[in-house]
């Protein structure tokens, strides 16, 4: 389909956000399984999401 191509940058953004969500959910689950409180587990997941997303976007900005 002509005109329906997805740009390279959009694919990288989707990949970074998806991997950040997965990493954040894993961190939240690990903290919860380790016995941390709900607030600490959610905070750890959110911090992991922000960290992975920031590093991912910085790397893509450097490479593209």
Q: Provide the residue range defining the domain that includes 54.
A: 22-63
Domain assignment of residue 50, yes or no: yes
Place 9 in a pLDDT band, splitting at 50, 70 and 90. Answer: confident
Q: Is 38 helix (H, G, I), strand (E, B) or coil?
A: helix
Total-model pTM: 0.85
Domain assignment of residue 34, yes or no: yes
Per-residue pLDDT of 22-41, as tens digits, reads 999 999 999 999 999 999 99
Domain assignment of residue 39, yes or no: yes
- What one-character-per-residue DSSP string does 6-27 give? PPHHHHHHHHHHHHHHHHHHHH
For residue 2, what pLDDT is reported?
A: 59
DSSP state at residue 1: -
Domain assignment of residue 12, yes or no: no
> How far apart (Å, rounded) are the C-alpha atoms in residues 36 and 61?
35
Number of domains in the chain: 1
Place 14 in a pLDDT band, splitting at 50, 70 and 90. Answer: very high
């Amino acid at each position: 389909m002509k005109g329906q191509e997805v740009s390279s940058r959009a694919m990288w953004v989707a990949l970074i956000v998806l991997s950040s969500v997965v990493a954040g959910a894993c961190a939240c689950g690990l903290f919860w399984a380790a016995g941390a409180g709900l607030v600490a587990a959610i905070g750890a997941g959110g911090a992991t999401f922000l960290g992975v997303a920031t590093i991912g976007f910085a790397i893509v900005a450097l490479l593209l």
